[in-house]
Amino acid sequence: MASRLTQQNRAGWLMAGPAFLLIAAFLIIPFFMAIGFSFTNQRLVSPNPTEWVGTANYKRLFGLSILTLEAERNEDGAVRTKDGEPVFPSLRSYTRNKDDYPEYYRKREWFSFGRGVDRRTFVLASDVVFLKAVRNTLFFVVVVAPLQAAAALGLALLINRKVRGINIFRTIYFMPVVISMVVVSMLWRFIYDGQNGLLNTVLDMLTFGWFEPVDWLGQKSTALPSIMAMSIWQGVGFHMIIWLSGLQTIPESLYEAARIEGASRWQTFRYVTWPGLRNTAILVMIIITMQAFTLYPQIAVMTGGGPLDSTQSIVFQMVERGYGKQDISGGSTISVFLFLFVLSISLLQRWLTREK
Amino acid sequence: MTLERKTRLIGLYLFLGFIACIFVLPILFMVMSSLKPDLQLLSDSSSLRAFLPVGDIGVDNYRDAFSRAPVGLFIFNSVFITATTLVLSLFLASIAAFSFVFIEWRGKTVVLAIIIATYILPFETVAVPLLLLVNNLPWLSTEGVTWGWLNSYQVQIVPWIIRALEIFLFVQYFRDLPRDLVESARVEGASWFQIYRRVVMPLSGPVIATVAILKFLEMYNNQFIWPIMVVQEEGLRPIMVGLLYFFQLNTAWGEIMAYLTIITVPVLAFYLVLQRAFIASIASTGVKG
C-alpha cells in the first residue's frame, strides 16, 4: 500500500509538475516581483544598485493637492479680467516653489472649477497623465460593459428562435470575434478617417448630405467613444454566444406555461427569461469588465493615447513606462493597481454568485 | 401560413439582414479595398462602390506589401510560435489535468487551487516584471549557455504555454469521464502514462478542439503587447506586430488593407469551416464558476 502511494505521488508530481512550474515561473513569480518592485526604484538596466523607496511610487501616481486661489484684483479692488474671465495668479509660483509650498511642488493642474466670480479651486496632481488614463479606463468600462452586454443579449434573443437559416446569422454576428483586435483597430482607423473615412460617407448618405464630416479619432470629444463603439462591434458576438448558452438552459416548459397563462412578450421576458439568466448576466458583465480593464491594442494602433491624452488607458501607460521608459518599478506599480481592480471585480462576482 | 405571419417573418429577416450588414460590411470593405489602387480606394469610399469589386481591380497591393515588408517571414513566425505553443499546451495541460483527476498524490488539491487562482491574473499585470525576468534567464543553445531571452522565439513561446483555463477545461472534461475505464486499465497493469495516452486522450476530442481553438486565437490573434516589449528584431516578430511596419509609411491604405486581408482570411476560413467548434469553445469559457 505504501509503495503504491509513493508511486502515485511520483506519477502525479511528474505529470502536473511541468505545467505548475511554468505557471509559477511566468505568472506567480512575476506577480510577486511586481509587488516587490513597486516599492523600489528598479530599472530594466541600471548602473546604480536598486534602492528601497517605500511608497514613493504610489505617492507619485496618486499624489493630489487642492489649491483654491483668489482672483487678482486691480488697485480699485475690482476683479481683474481678461477676455471676460477673471485672472488668477500663475500656478507656477506655487508648483515651482519648493521652499514655501512643498506640498504643491512639481504638481500639474488636472482640472479646476470656479467658486463664485473671484475664487477658483485647482486640483493638482503629480501624475496627471496616469490619472487621466485611470479616468478613461473607468469611463470605458462603465460605458462598454452594460452597452455590450445589452446588445449581446438583444442579439441572443433575436437569434434564439427556430426559423430557417438562423444559423447563418449566428455565424455572421460572431465573425468579428475571430478577427484580431489589432486588425480591427487598423481597419476602423481607416473607417473613422476624417477625410476619406467610410463612416462619414455612410452617415452622409443616410442623412442625405445633412451630416457634417467628423474626424472621429482626431478630436477629444469623439476619440474614446469611437474606440468604444468599435470594441463593442468586435466583442458583442462573443457575449451573444454566452447569453445564448444561458438562454438554452431555460426549460421550454416554462415558456409553454407562460403562453397558456396568456403572458405578453414583455411579461415572458421579465418573469421567465430574465430570472433564468441571472448567473449568466453576472458572468457576462464580469468577462466584459475584465476585458475592458486591459484596454490596450485599440489605443496603441489607433490613437497612441491622444488627442490630448483623451484616450490614455491604464495598460497603455503601464507599457509606456515599463517598456518605453524601462522604468520597471513605475510599470509594476501600475500593474499592482490594475490587479487590485481586477481582484475586486472577481470578488464581487464571487459574492454575487454565492450559494444562498 | 397566414399573411400576417408572413409579413412578420419578412420583417424579421430584414432586421436580421440589416444587423448582419453592420458586421459584414466593414470586413467586405477591407477585402475590396485591398484590391484597389490607392487613388481609387479613396474616391470609392465616398459611395457604395467601396463594397464592390469594381474599377481597376488587381493584386498590386499584395505584391507591394510583400516587397515592402518581410510579410512571409512574419507569417512564418506567427505560425511557428502558434503551432509550438499549441502542441506543448495541449500536452502539458491535459497530462496535468489527468493527474489532478485520476491520480491520488499528496499536495494536488493545493497545487490545483493555486493554478485555478491564477485565472484572475491577466497577463497585463505581470508583463512588466516578466520583462525584467526574461531579460535575466539562461537558455541552452548550440553556442552553449546564453543569458537573456530578449529577441528570440522562446521568449514568445515559453511564457505562453500554459494558462489556468486550459487545465481547468481538461479537468472538467475528465471529471465527467467514466472512472471505471481508468480503474480497469490500472488493474490490467497499464502504467499511468499508458492510460493517459491510450484510454483518456482518445476520448477527449471535444475538449482538445476547444482548447486548441482558444489557444490558436490567443496566439495568432492576440500576440501584440508582449512581442512589442521583448522582440525588437524585425525578423522574429509575429504578424500583428509586423503591422507596425506599415505605420512608418505615409499610410498606403491599399497595402495595409492587403496586409490585413492576408492575416485575417486564414482565420476566417478556419472559422467558417469549423464554426460549430469555434462557437462551442467560446461558450465553454462561460461555464467557469
Tell me, what CATH number does B125's domain have? Answer: 1.10.3720.10
The whole-number pLDDT of residue B3 equals 84
The whole-number pLDDT of residue A285 equals 85
> How far does the CA of residue A116 sit from the closest CA of chain B (Å)?
44
Which of B20, B93, B283 is closest, CB to CB, to A241?
A: B283
Using alpha carbons only, give the angle A214, A177, B245 rounded to the nearest 5 degrees.
Answer: 65
Average pLDDT over chain A, rounded to an integer: 88
- In terms of domains, do B20 and B115 share one? no
Is the distance from CB of B269 to CB of B189 less than 8 angstroms? no
pLDDT(B34) > 80: yes
- In terms of domains, do B108 and B188 share one? yes
pLDDT(A13) > 80: yes
- Is A191–B29 a contact, with Cβ atoms under 8 angstroms apart? yes
Q: Which range (A14-18, A47-51, A240-244, B190-194) has the least confidence?
A: A47-51
Q: What average pLDDT does this structure show over B94-100?
A: 96
- Is B96–A18 a contact, with Cβ atoms under 8 angstroms apart? yes
Of A238, A76, A85, the closest CA to residue A148 belongs to A238
Dist CA A283 CA B289 (whole Å)? 9
pLDDT(A76) > 90: no
C-alpha distance from residue A130 to each of B17, B41, B84 (Å)? 43, 39, 37
Determine, yes or no, domain membership for B63: no
Last residue of a domain, one of B39, B58, B77: B58
Q: Which range (A159-173, B44-58, B169-183) has the least confidence?
A: B44-58
Q: Which range (A80-94, A187-201, A269-283, B58-72) has the least confidence?
A: A80-94
Is the distance from CB of A204 to CB of A211 less than 8 angstroms? yes
The whole-number pLDDT of residue A243 equals 92
- Is B257–A242 a contact, with Cβ atoms under 8 angstroms apart? no
Q: How many CB atoms lie within 10 A of CB B248?
A: 9
> Residues 6 or more apart from B229 whose CB is under 8 A from it?
A319, A322, A323, B127, B131
What is the CB-side half-sphere exposure of residue A170 using CA atoms within 13 A?
Answer: 24
> How far does the CA of residue B142 sit from the closest CA of chain A (Å)?
23
- Cis ω for the linkage preceding B122 (within 30 of 0): no
Last residue of a domain, one of B17, B36, B58: B58
- Is B229–A319 a contact, with Cβ atoms under 8 angstroms apart? yes
In this prediction, residue A230 has a pLDDT band, given cuts at 50, 70 and 90, of: very high
Q: What average pLDDT does this structure show over A299-322?
A: 91
C-alpha distance from residue B268 to each of A330, B185, B275 (Å)? 39, 42, 10
Dist CA B240 CA B29 (whole Å)? 20
Which of A22, A187, A331 is closest, CB to CB, to B128?
A: A331
Q: Which helix (H) or strand (E) holds A65?
A: strand A64-70
Identify the burial level of A236 via C-beta atoms within 10 angstroms of its C-beta, where 0-12 means exposed, 13-18 middle and 19 or more buried.
Answer: buried
> How far does the CA of residue A38 sit from the closest CA of chain B (Å)?
10
Residue spans per domain, chain A:
64-126, 129-325
If one compares B53 and B288, the residue with the highest pLDDT of the two is B53
pLDDT(A236) > 80: yes
Is the distance from CB of A315 to CB of A235 less than 8 angstroms? no
The whole-number pLDDT of residue B288 equals 47
The whole-number pLDDT of residue B289 equals 39
The whole-number pLDDT of residue B54 equals 83
DSSP B31-87: HHHTTS-HHHHHHHTTSGGGGS--SS--SHHHHHHHHHS-HHHHHHHHHHHHHHHHH
- Is B128–A15 a contact, with Cβ atoms under 8 angstroms apart? no
Is the distance from CB of A192 to CB of A200 less than 8 angstroms? no
- In terms of domains, do B179 and B42 share one? no
Q: Kindly list the residues from chain B whose CB atom is less than 8 angstroms away from the CB atom of residue A297.
A: 224-225
Determine, yes or no, domain membership for B274: yes
Q: Quick one: CATH architecture of A129-325?
A: Orthogonal Bundle (1.10)
Q: How many CB atoms lie within 10 A of CB B225?
A: 23
* B21 contact A CB<8A: no
Determine, yes or no, domain membership for B107: yes
In this prediction, residue A98 has a pLDDT band, given cuts at 50, 70 and 90, of: confident
Dist CA A128 CA A345 (whole Å)? 25
pLDDT(A177) > 60: yes
pLDDT(B182) > 60: yes
The whole-number pLDDT of residue A119 equals 83
How many structural domains is chain B composed of?
A: 2
Is the distance from CB of B177 to CB of B186 less than 8 angstroms? no
Q: Kindly list the residues from chain A whose CB atom is less than 8 angstroms away from the CB atom of residue B264.
A: 179-180, 183
B194 alpha-carbon distance from chain centroid: 30
pLDDT(A294) > 90: no
- In terms of domains, do B151 and B278 share one? yes
Dist CA A177 CA A201 (whole Å)? 25
Determine, yes or no, domain membership for B189: yes
Identify the burial level of A151 via C-beta atoms within 10 angstroms of its C-beta, where 0-12 means exposed, 13-18 middle and 19 or more buried.
Answer: middle
- In terms of domains, do B43 and B157 share one? no
The whole-number pLDDT of residue B245 equals 82
Dist CA B99 CA B195 (whole Å)? 11
- Is B42–A196 a contact, with Cβ atoms under 8 angstroms apart? yes
- In terms of domains, do B217 and B188 share one? yes
- Is B279–A170 a contact, with Cβ atoms under 8 angstroms apart? yes
> How far does the CA of residue A111 sit from the closest CA of chain B (Å)?
29
* B46 contact A CB<8A: yes
Nearest CA in chain B to A33: B129
Q: Which domain holds residue B145?
A: 68-285
Mutate to test the interface with B, among A198, A265, A346 (most CBs of B within 10 A): A198
Mutate to test the interface with A, among B24, B36, B128 (most CBs of A within 10 A): B128
- pLDDT tens for B9-26 read 899 999 999 999 999 999
- In terms of domains, do B14 and B150 share one? no
Return the DSSP state at A38.
T
Q: Which helix (H) or strand (E) holds B147?
A: strand B144-147
Of B124, B260, B234, B218, the closest CA to residue A137 belongs to B124
Q: What is the ipTM of this complex?
A: 0.91
- In terms of domains, do B197 and B94 share one? yes
- In terms of domains, do B23 and B128 share one? no
pLDDT(A354) > 80: no
Task: Give the range with max mean pLDDT: A143-157, A241-255, B54-68.
Answer: A143-157
- In terms of domains, do B128 and B181 share one? yes
CB pairs under 8 A between A and B: 270
Dist CA A117 CA A85 (whole Å)? 9
Question: Model's pTM, two decimal places?
Answer: 0.90
In this prediction, residue B287 has a pLDDT band, given cuts at 50, 70 and 90, of: low
Q: Provide the residue type at B101 as one letter.
A: V
Q: Name A124's bridge partners.
A: A65, A109
- In terms of domains, do B150 and B189 share one? yes
Q: Kindly list the residues from chain B whose CB atom is less than 8 angstroms away from the CB atom of residue A31.
A: 121, 125-126, 129
The whole-number pLDDT of residue B249 equals 56
Average pLDDT over chain B, rounded to an integer: 90
* B133 contact A CB<8A: yes
pLDDT(B113) > 80: yes
The whole-number pLDDT of residue A110 equals 85
